Structure 1
Amino acid sequence: MLSKKLKFTLILGGLALSFLILEVGLRLTGYLMISAREVPLGQKDRESFLLAKNDTEKIRIMAIGDSTTNGGTLPLQDTYPFMLYDLIQESEYKDKVTVANHGRCEYNSSMTLNQIKHELDDYDPHVVLLLTGEADRFNPLGLEEELEGVGSSVKLESFLLNFRVYKLIRGLIVNLTYKYIVKDNSMYSNDDFAQNQKNIEHMFLAFDLAQKKKFDLAKKELAKVIPPIPDHLMPKLKKNLISDFGAILEYPQVSQLSYMIGKQQYADVVSLSMEYLKGHPYALYDENRDGVIYSLFWALDFQSDYSAQELLVEVLKLGERFPQATKKKPYLNFVRRLKNYDKIMKVVDQRREKNIEEMLKLFKEKNIEVLVLNYPAEFTKANQSLLEQARKNNLEFVDLRSHFKKLIERDGRGAWLLDDEHPTVKGNSELAKKVLDKLKPILQKKIKPENKKKTMKFKITAWDGYTPSHVIEEFKKQILLKYGVDLDVEIFLPENEEQMYNKLLNNEVHVMAASHYLFRDPLYQYFPKKLLRPIDLEKISNYKNLYRPFKNLSFEKNNGEFYGVPLAHAAYRLVYNKAHWKTPPSSWSVLFDPRNDGTYTVSSYYFETNNYIAALVAGIDRAKLHDHNFYKNDIKNLLKELAKGSNGYWGNLEKPNDIKGRKVAAAFGNFIHKLKEDGEDWGFAIPKEGEPAYLDYFVISSMVRDGSLLSKVSHEWVNFSLTPFYQMEVVVKGLGEMPVTEDIKESLTDEQIKRFHLDDPDYIGTKSFFWKARSLETLKWQEETWNKAIEEVR
C-alpha cells in the first residue's frame, strides 16, 4: 500500500505535469496564432517568407507595437497592417511590398524591445512601423529592477503573467462569473448606465442591511436588481459578505467605469471608483477582483481634479473603517502604489523613453527605415515620447492623435474607437490611409523603376480643370513605378462638346471626360457608332468607394456593360446673399419676380439650364424637360423676363466677382465661400421645383485595344480619378464641385459635407435631378430661344 507521503508526491507531480502540458499547449497555440498574424500577406506560411526574405523585388514592412497594432479582438483583415497591405495592392506598388503584423497585445516597450532583438534578424525588414509605449502604464514586465523598493507586487505579477495557464484560468473565472450580469459594454447605452447604477445602489443597501443582520430586508433589496441576479451568484448573506457581494458588484461597477472612460470622463471615474470602494471594500480584500482599482489608476493619469496623495488619505480612512483589509495584499499594494505613484510614473516614463531610443538605435545600425506613429487616443506621455524620439532622430512621424481628435469631435468617439483606445474597423482603415501617405516617399526611395524605361503617348481630352499639371505628374509617377513606363501625356482642352466628339471620331483620344447626357445624345452618337470601349470594373478598385447615388445609373450602361465611371457632380443651383433674405428663397420664381430685377445674374452659356428653370417655374414636369414641345408656348416670355432682369451674365463657370454685390443668382456656386473675404455671406437655397444637374464621367475610347498596355493605363487613370487625392485636389479644391466618392468625407469640413449633401443620399435624384438627352430639334430651339431673349434685351 502506498504511503501518504508517496501519494501526495504523485498527486503533486501529476498536477505539475498537467500544468506543464497545458502551458506548452497554450504556448504552441499562441505561437501558431501569432505566426499567422506575423506572416506577410501574400505568403502562404511563415517559412516561405523566411525563405523569400532575400527577394530583392519585395519591400518588407514590419508593423511593431501593442494591441493597437495587433488588433486585439478584431479579425486579422480588420487590423491596420492588413488594410495597409490592401491599400498598397491597389496602388502603384502592387505586388512589390509585403506587410507583417508583429503587434502583441499588452506588450509594453520593454517587451517590444526584447521582441525586436529576437525577431529583427529573422524578418530582416526594410521598413518598420513603430507604435509602442502605452502599455507601460499598466504592464510591469521589464520594470522589476527599477521598481525595486517601491513596494508594489510587480515581481509576483511579472512572474505570474509569464504563464499562459494563469491568464487562461483568470479569464475563465471572469467570464463565467460575469457573463450573466450585464450586457457587452460595446452595446451599452445611457439607459443601461442608469439601470446599472440603480442595481449597484440596491446591492450596497443590501450589504449594509446584511451587516446589520437584517437579512429579509437585504433579500428584498437584491430582488430589485434588473435583470435578476442568477442563483449561483446570489450572496449567502449570513457569511462571506465581502466575497459574495464582490462577486455581484465588480462587473457592473467596472462596466459603469469603462463606459465613462470611453466618454473621457476621467475625473468622474476616479471619484466614482472611490465611492464604490467606500460602499463595499471587496477590492481591498480580493486580488482577483481588481477591476475598480485598475479603472481608477487608468483614469488617474488623464485628469487633474484628484492627486494620488489626496486619494491616499481617503484609502487610509477606508482602512480605519475596515481594519481587516489593512492586512490584505490588495489594500497594501493600493496604499503603496498611491504613496509612490509619482515615482512609479517617472520610472515608467524614463524606461519608455530609454526603450524607444534603443529600438531606434538598433534600426539605424541595421539601416532600416522607420516610420514612427503615435496613438489615436489621448495617451499624452506615450505620444510625447514617440514624437520627441522621432524629432530627435529626424524620422517621419504619423500624427494619428491630431487627426483622430478632429474625427472624434466631428463624429463622436464611438465611430473611431472601440473603447478608450483601440480603433474600430473604420478607425483602422483611416489609420492605414494616414500611414500610407507617409510611407509612399519611403517606398519611392526603396523601389527603383526598371533601368529600361518605356515611353508611351497617353491622350486625355477633358474640360479645363480636370487635368492640372501636378495631378498629371503624380499619375505619371505612379505609372512609372508600377509599369516602368514613362508617359508622354497629351492634354486637349475642348471649348465645346463638338470638339470632344470629333476627337473620338478621329481616334485622337484615349480617355475623355463626358457628361452623363452625352452617352445617348442624338447629336453625338457614342453608342450607335461604337466610339467607346467598355470599362472593366474589376480593374477599378476604387469603384467600391463611389457614393451610392452615383452607382449603376442607366445612362452609363449599354447592353449590360459599363462605359463610364463618374468623376464629378454639379447642379445649377439657386444661391442667395444672406444679407438680403430673412429665410432662404424656396423657388426659382424669385428670378422672375419684378422686385428682384437687376439684383441677380444667370449664365449666358448654359442655355438649356435657363430653359429648364423657366419650364419648372411654368409648372412643367421635370420628366418632360428634354422635349421643348411640352413647353415651347409657355416659356418664351419667361426667358425674356429672365434675361431682362439679369444684372450681367457669366460664362461656362462663374467666378466670385460674377455674383458679388447681387441679391441672388442662378449658378453652380462652386466658389461662393470666397466672397466671405469681401464681407458677403452666401448660401445655397433648395428650390421646391428641383435643381437640374449633370454628372461628368471618364470614358475610354474604342481605339484603346483590350488587354494592351494602353488599356491598363487607361483603366489606371479612371481608377486614379476616384482616389481621395484626385477628388480633393481636382474636384473639391480645384473646381469646387461635388466629389463622387464616400471615402473623401473624412477630409471635408462640416460645411462642405452639408453643401455637397454627402449625409443626404436622397438629395441626388429628388431635389437634384439629371437632365436627359435632348433631340437635335429641342437643342436648337432651346439655344435659339435663349439667344433671342438676350438679343432683345440688348
Structure 2
Amino acid sequence: MRSTPRLPLSAAALCALALAAAACGSGSEPAGTAAAPGRSGFTPPKIEALKSLGASEGQVNLVHWAGYAEDGSNDPKVDWVTPFEQATGCQVNSKTAGTSDEMVNLMKTGEYDAVSASGDASLRLIAGGDVAPVNTALIPNYADVFAGLKDKPWNSVDGVSYGVPHGRGANLLMWRTDAVKPAPDSWSVVFDPASPYKGKITAYDSPIYIADAAVYLMATKPDLGIKNPYALDDRQFQAAVDLLKQQRQLVGEYWSDYTKEVQAFKSGDSVAGTTWQVIANVAKADGAPVEVTLPKEGSTGWSDTWMVAAKAENPNCAYKWLDWIISPKANAQVAEYFGEAPSNSGSCELTADPKHCETFHATDEDYFSKVWYWTTPIAQCLDGRTDVTCKDYAEWTRAWTEIKG
C-alpha cells in the first residue's frame, strides 16, 4: 500500500530507477464483496488454483514495483531476471506500476500473469476475482518462507493462500540525534500537540497513515477499544482523524518522495517523523545524524505478495517466477537491493552484507509481532465485529484530503 517510491539502498540504484509512487492508490472498497463475509471480511469468487504444472509457455508478463524484477538494464551487476530466463525458458516481460490503483487496473486488462501486490491491492484483486488461489505445493521454495508471513489477512482468505510473500518492513520513527533529545521511544514526539519540534515533524503522505494514528491511539486511548488499526468504526475513525488534524499543526512537510525525506533530514528541515529502514540507511550514508526505532506503541508496516492472475495466459511460467523470486539467492538479491527483510529463511546467508538481515530484523518475529502490516480497510470490520460497520478505504481517502486541507 505504498504511496511513495521505495527505492533501493545504493546511490547507483537511486539514480538508475525512476522515482515511482508506490501502493496506496485511491483506495476504493474491494469490488465483489460478498454479503456473508469470511474471516477476512468478504467471501472471494470461486476460482480454482492450478492443480499441476505443465510445460513452460516461453514467457511471463509481470506487473511489479520498481526494483522487484531487475534484469541488469538499470545496473549490470543487479540481475536476477536473466538467470531465471536461462533456467526456465520463460522470457520476462515486465511492467513497473506506480500505484496500487494502476496495478489493479493493469491486472483487470487480462494482459498480465503475475503481480507483486501490496496489502490494499491484494485484497481488491482477490475480492474482484482478478487473481487465483495459489497451489503452494507447486512452489517448492514456499516451504522456507518465514512462518510469520504465511496465511495472513493480506495474502490469504480463510486459510487459502493467494500468493507468496516477497519481503517485509516496518514503518519506523526517525529523528536527528543532534536536535531531538532525549532519544524518543514513542510516537508521542510526532503526535503530542506540545511537541517542541513543531514545524519540523514529517509524516507519510497517504491515507493509510490514518492507521499510524490508530496504532498510537490503541496504546494511549484504550477506551476507544481499537483492536485493529485497519478496522475503525465511526467513533474510532473520527478519533484518528482528529488526532491527525491536530498533528497537521506540527507537520512541516508530508513526504511522498523518498529522496526529499532524505534531504529534509540532512538539512534539518525535518527532525522527527515516520520512515523506512532503507531511508535511514541512505540518510546516514549521506552524513545525516539520524537514528530509528520501532516505538513502544508498535507501528504499521508492509509485506508484498506475488500473485497469479485468475486468467493467466502463462500460468506455468508464472508459477516458476513465484518460486524463483522467493528462492534463497534471488530473494536475498532483491531484498538487499530494494531495502527490506527477505521472505525466505535461507536468504540471510546469501546477502552481500552479512548484517543485512540483522539490520532489517528478518528473523526477529518478536520485532514483527509489533508491526501491523498494511491491509485494506473494508466495511466489514477486519477485527471480527459484526454489530458495526467500519470505514472503508474510500472513506479513508476522503478523510485524508480533509486532514491535509
**TM-score (norm: length of structure 2):** 0.71
CA positional deviation for 1:553: 2.7
Q: 2:36 maps to which residue?
A: none
Aligned partner of 1:781 in structure 2 is: 395
The reply on whether 1:641 has 2:255 as its aligned counterpart is no
> With CA pairs under 8 Å and 6+ residues apart, which has the higher RCO, 1 or 2?
2
Structure 1, residues 397-419: CA drift from partner, whole Å, max 9, x if none?
xxxxxxxxxxxxxxxxxxxxxxx
Distance 1:551 1:560, change over 3 A: closer
Are 1:462 and 2:64 an aligned pair? Answer: yes
> Structure 2 counterpart of 1:466, which letter?
Y
Equivalent in the alignment of 1:632: 237
Amino acid at match of 1:469: D
Query: Among 671, 675, 683, which residue is 2:291 paired with?
Result: 683
- Higher Rg: 1
Residues 1:750 and 1:491: Cα distance change in structure 2 (over 3 Å): closer
TM-score by length of 1: 0.38
What is the rounded CA distance, in whole Å, between the counterparts of 1:481 and 1:625 in structure 2? 41
* Superposed CA offset, 1:673-727 (max 9, x none): 232344323222121221112210000001126xxxx322111111111133333
Q: Runs of at least 4 residues of structure 1 off by over 6 A?
A: none
Counterparts of 1:676 and 1:555, CA distance in 2: 32
Alpha-carbon offset, residue 583 of structure 1 = 4.7
**How many residue pairs end up in the alignment?**
323
Task: Check the 8 A contact 1:574/1:664 in 2, yes or no.
Answer: yes
1:725 aligns with 2:322: no
Q: Are residues 1:697 and 2:305 paired?
A: yes
Hey, what's the Cα distance between the residues in 1 that align with 2:310 and 2:167? 23
Q: Measured at CA, do residues 774 and 704 of structure 1 come closer, stay the same or move farther in structure 2, by a change above 3 Å?
A: same
Local SS of the residue matching 1:595 = coil
Aligned partner of 2:134 in structure 1 is 535
State the AA in 2 paired with 1:632: F
Within-5 A mapping of 1:439-518: 456-470=58-72, 474-483=80-89, 487=91, 489-518=92-121
SS in 2 for 1:648: strand
2:9 matched to which residue of 1?
Answer: none
Distance 1:580 1:744, change over 3 A: farther
Q: Is the 8 A contact 1:628 1:781 kept in 2?
A: no
Whether the 8 Å contact between 2:179 and 2:271 is mirrored in structure 1 is: yes
Query: Which residue of the other structure, out of 272, 277, 281, is the alignment partner of 1:664?
Result: 272
> How far is the alpha carbon of 1:632 from its aligned partner?
3.3
SS for the counterpart of 1:692 is: strand
Aligned-residue Cα RMSD (Å) equals 2.8
| Partner in structure 2 of residue 549 of structure 1 | 148
Any idea what SS the aligned residue of 1:725 has? helix
Aligned counterparts of 2:284 and 2:264: Cα–Cα separation in 1: 14
What is aligned with 1:371?
Answer: none
Q: Deviations over 1:460-517 (max 9, x none)?
A: 111222122329964344434444x5x2x33222232222222222212101011234
Residue 558 and residue 675 in structure 1: after superposition, are their counterparts in 2 closer, same or farther (change >3 A)? closer
- CA distance in structure 2 between the partners assigned to 1:652 and 1:739 by the alignment: 24
Give the aligned residue type for 1:692.
Answer: T
Residue 561 of structure 1 aligns to which amino acid in structure 2? V
Distance 1:653-1:547 versus aligned 2 partners, 3 A rule: farther
The verdict on how the C-alpha distance between 1:459 and 1:664 changes in structure 2, with shifts beyond 3 A counting, is same
Residue 538 of structure 1 deviates from its aligned partner by 2.6
Among 196, 199, 202, the residue aligned to 1:595: 196
**Aligned match of 1:738:** 341
Q: In structure 2, how many angstroms separate the alpha carbons of the residues matched to 1:648 and 1:751?
A: 32
What displacement does 1:559 show? Answer: 5.9
Amino acid at match of 1:496: T
Are positions 1:612 and 2:220 aligned together?
no
The AA in structure 2 aligned to 1:607 is P
Query: Deviations along 1:270-299, whole A, 9 cap, x unmatched?
Result: xxxxxxxxxxxxxxxxxxxxxxxxxxxxxx
Within-5 A mapping of 1:181-330: none
Q: 1:746–1:515: structure 2 CA closer, same or farther, 3 Å change rule?
A: same
Q: Which runs of 5+ in 2 are unaligned?
A: 1-55, 380-390
What is the CA–CA distance in structure 2 between the aligned matches of 1:790 and 1:640, rounded to whole Å? Answer: 8
SS in 2 for 1:728: helix
Give the conservation status (yes or no) of the 8 Å contact 1:475–1:717. Answer: no
Cα distance between partner residues in 2 of 1:739 and 1:480: 23
Give CA-to-partner distance per residue, 1:434-460, whole Å, 9 cap, x none: xxxxxxxxxxxxxxxxxxxx9844211
Query: Is the contact between residue 110 and residue 312 of structure 2 (CA under 8 Å) also seen in structure 1?
Result: no
Determine the C-alpha separation between the residues in 1 that align with 2:241 and 2:61: 42
Distance 1:589 1:744, change over 3 A: same
Instruction: Give deviations 1:723-755, integer Å, cap 9, x for gaps.
Output: 33333332222x212221221222455753333
Q: Which amino acid aligns with 2:211?
A: Y
In 2, the alpha carbon distance for the partners of 1:507 and 1:719 equals: 22
Aligned-pair CA distance for 1:568: 1.7
For residues 99 and 237 of structure 2, the distance between their equivalents in structure 1, rounded to whole angstroms, comes to 25
User: Judging changes above 3 Å, is the alpha-carbon distance between structure 1 residues 622 and 659 closer, same or farther for their aligned structure 2 residues?
Assistant: farther
Change (3 A) 1:760 1:669: closer
Match of 2:166 in 1: 567
How far off is 1:590 after superposition?
0.7
Task: Give the 3 Å change call, closer, same or farther, for CA 630–731 of structure 1 in structure 2.
Answer: farther
Tell me the secondary structure at the aligned position of residue 330 of structure 2.
helix
Kindly provide the amino acid, as one letter, of the partner of residue 296 in structure 2: K
> Cα distance 1:727–1:477, how it changes in 2: closer, same or farther (>3 A)?
closer
The CA deviation string for residues 615-672 of structure 1, in whole angstroms up to 9 with x for no partner, is: 3333253425422514233233421232232222221645522432232121223131
How far residue 785 of structure 1 moved from its aligned partner, in angstroms, is 2.4
Per-residue CA deviations over 1:575-616 (Å, capped at 9, x if unaligned) read 222333455312111102331112221122x2222x122233
> How far apart in 2 are the matches of 1:455 and 1:560?
30
Contact 2:154 2:375 in 1 (8 A): no
CA contact (8 A) 1:600 1:659 kept: no
Q: Which residue identity is paired with 1:657?
A: Q
Decide whether aligned partners of structure 1 residues 528 and 608 sit closer, same or farther in structure 2, where only a CA change above 3 A counts.
Answer: closer
Cα deviation code 1:189-240 (max 9, x no counterpart): xxxxxxxxxxxxxxxxxxxxxxxxxxxxxxxxxxxxxxxxxxxxxxxxxxxx
Deviation of residue 787 (structure 1)? 2.0
Distance in 2 separating the partners of 1:787 and 1:460: 32
Partners of 1:680 and 1:751 in 2: CA distance: 21
State the SS of the aligned residue for 1:758.
coil
Task: Spell out, residue by residue over 1:236-278, the C-alpha distance to the aligned partner (whole angstroms, 9 max, x if none).
Answer: xxxxxxxxxxxxxxxxxxxxxxxxxxxxxxxxxxxxxxxxxxx
Higher strand share: 2
Q: Measured at CA, do residues 732 and 642 of structure 1 come closer, stay the same or move farther in structure 2, by a change above 3 Å?
A: farther
Structure-to-structure mapping, 1:581-592, within 5 angstroms = 581-592=180-191
Give the stretch that moved more between structures: 495-504 or 561-570.
495-504
Q: Distance in 2 between matches of 1:790 and 1:537?
A: 43
* Change in CA separation of 1:600 and 1:462 when aligned onto 2, cut-off 3 Å: same
User: What is the correspondence of 1:763-774 to structure 2 with a 5 Å cutoff?
Assistant: 763-764=367-368, 766-774=369-377
Q: Distance in 1 between matches of 2:340 and 2:362?
A: 12
Deviations 1:345-372, CA, capped at 9 Å, x for gaps? xxxxxxxxxxxxxxxxxxxxxxxxxxxx
Q: Distance in 1 between matches of 2:148 and 2:253?
A: 35
Three-state SS of the structure 2 residue aligned to 1:680 is coil
Q: Percent identity of the aligned residues? A: 20
Cα gap change, 1:491 to 1:769, in 2 (>3 Å): same
Q: CA deviation at 1:545?
A: 2.3
Which SS does the other structure have where 1:762 is aligned?
A: helix
